[in-house]
Structure 1
């Protein structure tokens, strides 16, 4: 009995020393709601700021990419034009206009590639170098041919061949095309290049039939494009430009456009219209030396038929000068809609211009 009483007293004493029982207390529903609202008010502006910053960064990036792309395209065209011997303007005269000498693209349109939705903007003849490609004398030519010049050092010379170069502006109509991404909306336009090249001619040919080396004596790059017309003469620059029946042959460069740059602006509105005197002003109000009269804007300016004017050329054929202008569209890289040119967003439509004088004459 004493032992039991002692245990009860000891237990009571321990409870008194441990103090009152502790209770756990959490957040009330009101406190949780207030905290959530405060977090929302703080985090939402921060997220909006981050999203805006990312969108701005993305726009600046595509703007920079577009500027670089069109500048690279302009540089390529400039280098190409520097070898030009004859540049076609937009003179509307044709062979059926006896009072005016045909000099322009309209006179040779039927002799150029005719791709769907493509418009020729810049067309010219150039000299294309062919290094170490022709035996340097008839004696060497008996055993060495253009195809084997590389394996016979010191026995061949460099030469040149003629090339007809044409830059086209293509308007894409397929919204699912790789050239129209992101899909939907109006597709951007693009610039592509065609080249139709002569082959290496045999200086020792005994007849016209032997004008060119045979296929067994040449490499692919040394052979004549089937659409190249051997009868072309610079004194008649709109005659025998190509062999029209061969323009669709798969072996011809006329069927192999090389895309130079995409995302060229597609917009046609009042903001993209030209003033009407750009080319005359840019080229210094040129005078036709044959008639001593000013060359008209219509003759100098070569642009698309729809008035987009995002890729056009000002050409003075007499002086062998061309001024090329390209306008890109960086907005179309990231959005299918609301990507038309506006003066308020002109920063996203970079423009570059190059003016080049060609060689000035065949063989110069």
Structure 2
């Protein structure tokens, strides 16, 4: 019996008191209530389902849009950073600087060739892999007073102080760890150490140790762990052979910052690296020397060392914003939740 027949039978019963006469029935029978509830549920359920579908679709689109915006913002930041580059480490250069991605930081000078180094000149541990590393020429506004000393009040001294430039070493890392502050995916951190400002008259640091009572002048000090690159040999030799200062440790709380979170941690073979146009470009990091968990193809670069050009690739994981337990990995079904971006930049800095 279909619902129409059931409804008509119930209605006839309300009109018939069993003797053929019709009387006014008070209230509703149980059958009537059940039929009404059933009909109501048949109407409301699709409406609720449609409403939930609309809400879920809107949420998904917002998540995807936010992730795409973050990926583009990160690429724009990296691009502005790279525009000041004077030297970008390619596959061979990064292998020399990190001793093929060692996970300990050098605390003493490594052995001289032909011995093989077993530590990295960059900050290193098992949770981080350096991907994009370069030197840049950085402008510091109103840093030097006209008499050669530090500028005591840079914000109000545009007419009494001069700008200057210092060199900085910048490294972008892919990070995968259990830090609950961040997502269960991976993230990108930026590390930077810079040289201190020198007195143009004497050549000495304006503030050697960053302990000047004037905070503005103390801010002109050299970062701990920084040493200038060499001045002898070829350009590659000067940067390949750079060593940190072993007189003090890196101050990672001051020199390392998270750039962007929710970078995809998937290691699926369906997401290979885009081939770099060798021999001019080489890919970093070198997957032959890093753990499989970091072989995500979600943050890497093609570098032309000779031309100071880097082509940077990023892929996010917005699906992890919706459900991060377990952390979702890439699949063809959910590919739209993994926004991608790329940028190619030529470093325009120069070495004095």
2:181 aligned with 1:178, yes or no? yes
How has the CA–CA distance of structure 1 residues 153 and 313 changed in structure 2, closer, same or farther, with 3 Å as cutoff?
closer
Contact 2:226 2:245 in 1 (8 A): yes
Q: Please give the per-residue CA displacement for 1:303-350, whole angstroms capped at 9, x wherever unaligned.
A: 663221100011111110001000001100010237211123211111
Q: Is the 8 A contact 1:231 1:240 kept in 2?
A: yes
- Residues in 1 aligned to 2:136 and 2:170: alpha-carbon distance in whole angstroms: 7
Contact 1:120–1:169 (CA under 8 A) maintained in structure 2: yes
Q: CA deviation at 1:189?
A: 0.4
Q: Which has the larger radius of gyration?
A: 1
1:6 paired residue number: none
Are residues 1:267 and 2:256 paired? no
TM-score by length of 2: 0.76
- Structure 1 runs (4+) deviating above 6 angstroms are 106-109
The corresponding residue for 1:353 is: 342
* 1:314 and 2:315 matched: no
CA–CA distance in 2 between the matches of 1:109 and 1:357? 30
1:88·1:317 contact (CA, 8 Å) conserved in 2? yes
Q: CA offsets per residue over residues 216-239 of structure 1, 9 Å max, x none?
A: 376232111121114544551122
* Equivalent-residue separation in structure 2 for 1:153 and 1:322 (angstroms): 35
Unaligned runs of 5+ in 1: 1-21, 98-105, 181-186, 288-294
In structure 2, the residue matched to 1:328 is 316
3-state SS of the aligned residue for 2:152?
Answer: helix
- Tell me how far apart the structure 2 counterparts of residues 34 and 338 of structure 1 sit (CA, whole Å): 45
- Aligned match of 1:55: 56
| 1:231-281 superposed Cα distances (whole Å, 9 cap, x missing partner) | 544551122342245344xxx357642111111101111212336xx112x
1:135 aligns with 2:178: no
Deviation readout 1:88-109 (Å, 9 max, x if unpaired): 0111764999xxxxxxxx9896
Residue 33 (structure 1) shift: 0.8
Give structure 2 stretches of 5+ with no counterpart. Answer: 1-22, 101-115
What SS does structure 2 have at the residue aligned with 1:126? strand
Judging changes above 3 Å, is the alpha-carbon distance between structure 1 residues 76 and 94 closer, same or farther for their aligned structure 2 residues? closer
- Residue 193 of structure 1: aligned partner: 190
Aligned length: 299
1:157 aligns with 2:159: no
> For residues 44 and 338 of structure 1, what CA distance do their matches in structure 2 show?
32
Q: State the Cα RMSD in Å.
A: 2.9
Contact 1:194–1:254 (CA under 8 A) maintained in structure 2: no
After TM superposition, give the deviation of residue 133 of structure 1 in Å.
1.2
Matches within 5 A, 1:63-74: 63-74=64-75
The answer to which of 32-41 and 234-243 deviates more is 234-243
Q: TM-score, normalised by structure 1?
A: 0.74
Match of 2:5 in 1: none
Q: CA deviation at 1:132?
A: 1.4
Q: In 2 relative to 1, CA 87–265 (structure 1 residues): closer, same or farther, beyond 3 Å?
A: same
State the 1:212 CA deviation: 4.3
d(CA) in 2 for partners of 1:149, 1:27: 85
> Does 2:276 correspond to 1:279?
yes
Residue in 2 that maps onto 1:300: 283
CA contact (8 A) 2:176 2:185 kept: yes
Deviations 1:165-219 (A, max 9, x none): 1101111335xx1312xxxxxx21001101101110122227xxx4444543762
Q: Is 1:195–1:254's contact at 8 Å kept on the other side of the alignment?
A: no
Checking the alignment, whether the CA contact within 8 Å between 1:162 and 1:198 is kept in structure 2 is: yes
CA shift, 1:44, in A, is: 1.1
